[in-house]
Amino acid sequence: MRRTIKEKLRGTVPARVNGYKDKEYEEYLKHIDPQREEVRLALASSPDPRFRAFLERMSDPTQPGTKLQTIAKSCNIPLDEFMEWFSRASNQRAIAIVQTHSPAIVQDTLEDARSKFVACHRCDGLTWIAAVKDLPPETPGYRPMGEGWIRDCPVCRAKGFVRTPGDDSSRSKSLEMAGLINKKGAGIAIIQNFGGQALPSAIRRLDAITVDVDHDS
């Protein structure tokens, strides 16, 4: 009688030497490709000896052409357990990738939180705007230009740039990561680092701490 094993998800299927007939298992292993470097690393670091044995046998040059599902079954790894293992391994790899890039993400968040100097929206950075004739002579920067008149931009005061606040969400996240605020439900409570000040005061102090931009006046 042909040997079989019973798997949780699919009932009785061919086992061990007949594993090559398990087409579902074969398609799944083709999909995840255990020969990929990251999958091999996960297999090598698995605490389950069956998966380490799978890697060793998969790499055995004395067994060329052996189906991967045959090797998996010979290591007593049914399909549902291989799927569970790969899901956990993928999650751990995803977490590792996020952890590796988290310093850059935090730096970007802080940069987004900081106030910045941008071109004045009124004069487009020119420092002046068009003016009508016969303005009071004490109007700042009032002077002729070509056939018309101009005056100093009243928004940027002839600097060409204005200060714009940082992103509110990034500010809150930055303060939260620094442990300067605690989120409780929908509200935010300032802890002792800011002496019980309200969030707007905390954000103004963040501006004072983080903004370091030099501009010629």
Structure confidence by residue, pLDDT tens digits, 148-204 = 999 999 999 999 999 999 999 999 999 988 888 876 644 445 444 445 455 555 555
CA-only gyration radius of the chain, Å: 33
Distance CA 213, CA 111 (A): 12
Q: How many CB atoms lie within 10 A of CB 155?
A: 13
Mean pLDDT of the chain: 82
Distance CA 155, CA 121 (A): 8
Sign of CA dihedral 67, 70, 74, 78: positive
Q: Are 79 and 6 in contact (CB under 8 A)?
A: no
Query: How large is the average pLDDT for residues 111-138?
Result: 94
Whether pTM exceeds 0.95: no
Task: Please tell me the predicted confidence (pLDDT) of residue 187.
Answer: 47
Q: Are 210 and 112 in contact (CB under 8 A)?
A: no
Query: How large is the average pLDDT for residues 106-125?
Result: 95
Listed ranges 10-14, 95-99, 196-200; the one with the highest mean pLDDT: 95-99
Query: How large is the average pLDDT for residues 2-24?
Result: 57
208 HSE (CA, 13 A, CB side): 6
